[in-house]
Amino acid sequence: MIEKFGVLFEKSFKEYKENFETFLVILVILSLIPSLFMYLFSYNFGSYMQVLNEDSPFEQINEHIMNYPYLIPLIILVIIVSLLSCWLATTLIYYSLNASKNKKLSIIDSLQGGAKNFFKYLGMMILFGLILFLFLIPLFILFAFLYYGNNTYLMFYFIFVAVLYVILFIPFIMFIVYWIFAPYFLIDQKKSIIDSIRASKQLVENYWFETLAYLIFILVITIVISIPFSLFLKGIKYFIDYIFILGLIELILNFLISIITYPLITLFIKNLYLEMKNEKDKKIDSKSRKKKKKNE
């Protein structure tokens, strides 16, 4: 029997408070600073695109984008920020796993540990992305029908896509829950991508509903945490009209949300992973002891 949600959350929150400074520095390096650069570029790009309107033809919009003087640096920056988000994930998982072993890692050691697992984690995320893309293909086709297609058959296709998503929704949620611990197996036990996914599924098999419930609970908590920040942002819009400042405030508020929720979620899933893993090991030991007794 795995620990109750409250016990695991309390343990995770305690670890979060004890390691807050480390989490803060990691998120500043791999999240806040890149996000600031990204915001400056995207704001400049948004200002550049303001000469167009909603009725502008697609060809004109495409030509305007291609003529943007900083297009290549913007694309490179988007790629770098995306890669840094993967490095951030591996660093937080690596640090949280070592924190549970009472290993107090430095910032440099944490970043290096995350970097060592970066490419395997990136490969896993690409695989998950491809699976998600396959799931979204019918939706892309629907958008194509809306833009280019004949409206005569649009309703039939829309019904088909709706039914298809209803059918696929349940297995999609099932696989998300089954694979939730795959990154932890990847980093903790240095398994391959496929072996990590398989190990995660095997671990969750006997606790699928409990895992789903725990993930929903932690998601609800993170949503509740973000509500005051969202309300503050809505309120401040009545006093500040300058879009650049508003965007900067929104970026900082999102960072404050992430500094609370991202490490907390990572720690909670880590503790749930270790708890379920320990329960599985106990069951295996119990079975092996019973076999020994029978053989004797």
Local structure of 36: helix, strand or coil: helix
**Whole-number Cα distances in Å, 50 to 42, 61, 63, 78, 140:** 12, 11, 14, 21, 27
Give the number of other Cβ atoms within 10 Å of residue 99's Cβ. 19
Nearest-angstrom CA–CA distance, 24 and 240: 28
Could you tell me the pTM of the whole model?
0.87
pLDDT in tens, 158-167: 676 677 677 7
- Cβ-contact 160, 168 below 8 angstroms: no
Maximum Cα–Cα distance across the chain:
85
Sequence ranges of the domains in the chain: 5-281
Residue predicted with more confidence, 141 or 111: 111
Residue 281 confidence (pLDDT): 80
pLDDT one-digit tens code per residue, 90-121: 999 999 999 877 677 889 999 999 999 999 99
User: What confidence category does residue 217 fall into, taking pLDDT thresholds of 50, 70 and 90?
Assistant: very high
Other CB atoms within a 10 A radius of the CB of residue 112 amount to 13
Bigger pLDDT: 139 or 132?
132
User: Is the predicted pLDDT of residue 149 greater than 60, yes or no?
Assistant: no
| pLDDT tens-digit map of 172-188 | 888 899 999 999 999 99
Residue 23, burial from CB neighbour count under 10 angstroms (0-12, 13-18, 19+): buried
